[in-house]
Structure 1
Amino acid sequence: MRIDRFLHCIRLLKSRTLAQSLVEEGHVRIDGKRITKTAEEVRVGSVIAFPLHDRIRILRVLSLPDRRGPATEARTHYEELGVDEPKPAT
């Protein structure tokens, strides 16, 4: 499944266009490798890291969604490995 479609289907981004721009700007990593093409494939077991709302989200893909369903269904497709909190300004 394409990375832009995956991020949209699991309801972390409101549109595929937002997901595409995040990828094209080079902010997304799959298994530690920076990607810039929206057609990059995501597979079960992949680890995805990307910035979202001033935090770095790190997810493991558990399954690939067939559709953009409700939030409860979307959360079953990934496991949150961590969220890097922003450092407070001093």
Structure 2
Amino acid sequence: MRIDKFLKISRLIKRRSVAKEVADKGRVQVNGNLAKSSSNVQIGDIVKIQFGNRTIELKVNALHESTKKEDAQEMYEIVSDERKI
């Protein structure tokens, strides 16, 4: 699954166009490598996302084509959540 689609379906980012923009600006890494919006993500991958002064690192647990709001969090497990002061 493409990283921009994963970010949208897992509801980490609300719109796919925003997820694409974030990835293409170099703010997303998959397994330590910079990811473009078309980069593939698989179960077990570690994804690191930088939101301004916040960095989230998560592990991909599941890939679904669509999810309900309450099921979206099952797609990933947060490994670390850091804020820069």
Query: How far did residue 44 of structure 1 move?
Result: 0.2
Do the aligned partners of 1:50 and 1:57 also contact (CA within 8 Å) in 2? Answer: yes
Q: Structure 2-normalised TM-score?
A: 0.93
State the 4+ residue runs in structure 1 displaced beyond 4 angstroms: none
Q: Structure 1-normalised TM-score?
A: 0.88
Higher-Rg structure is: 1
Code of the residue aligned with 2:56 in structure 1: it is R
Separation (CA, whole Å) in 2 of partners of 1:68 and 1:5: 12
Structure 1, unmatched stretches of 5+, are none
What percentage of residue pairs aligned between the two structures are identical?
28
Q: Give the match for residue 25 of structure 2.
A: 25
Q: Give the match for residue 10 of structure 1.
A: 10
CA RMSD of aligned residues (A): 1.1
Query: How far did residue 9 of structure 1 move?
Result: 0.3
Do the aligned partners of 1:60 and 1:78 also contact (CA within 8 Å) in 2? Answer: yes
Structure 2, unmatched stretches of 5+, are none
